[in-house]
Amino acid sequence: MAPHPAPKGLRPPAPFRIARRLKPGRYPLLRVFPGLNRVHAFRGYPCAPTARRNLARRSFVEIVNRKGEWMYVAPHEIPPDADKRWKPIVTADDCVVVSNYHLTRSPAVVLYMDILHELYHVVQRQAGRELWDDDYDYVDRPTEVEAYRFAVEEARRLNAPDSFLREYLRVEWVSERHHRRLLKNLGVSLKDPTPTRPRA
């Protein structure tokens, strides 16, 4: 699987960085993503300032030596949609799991959007929300739509085009029909506008 491409010049804001050379294992959040707590978007999480500080100080990242371009919040218990394809790491604390493949190969802006998205889920869970509510399809689940919207809005602030967002939002377990529905839920265009020809 090739990592998502990113337009030339589309990068995360300073002082966000990525410690790409860490070996598989468990690390404090800011060891893997230094500066994340000092970017504009981090202040946008819907929680009190104290909760945001704790989010930065008490969250962890577990790097696993597996292929695939993915990142997820470790559940506190096995969720109902777990299957043979997805056998999640279960933890009692707030931990984001990322594949070593993703961390070392994906563009920085993709990893930036992913960690913003996953930490949004941590905030939701701390507020008592159910992250794996199987009453909803994945692309309609309120917690997913909110977390994606948070990352998409930040990407747009960085001038990401919809062509990039369409590909970013294409996840392997979602059908083409559901992908289009996710784009609609997030206000991302299905295709680029046709350029108008100047009149002769």
Q: What is the DSSP string of 93-146?
A: S-EEEEEHHHHHHS-HHHHHHHHHHHHHHHHHHHTT--TT-TTS-GGG-HHHHH
> Domain-by-domain residue ranges, the chain?
25-186
Query: Residue 179 has what pLDDT?
Result: 96
Query: Residue 9 has what pLDDT?
Result: 87
CA dihedral (124, 76, 70, 57) positive or negative: positive
Q: List, for residues 54-64, the tens digit of each pLDDT value.
A: 999 999 999 99
Cα separation, 187 vs 190, whole angstroms: 9
Tell me phi and psi for residue 73, to 5 degrees: -80, 125
Check whether 1 has a pLDDT greater than 50: no
Q: List, for residues 94-109, the tens digit of each pLDDT value.
A: 999 999 999 999 999 9
Query: Would you say the pTM of this structure is higher than 0.85?
Result: yes
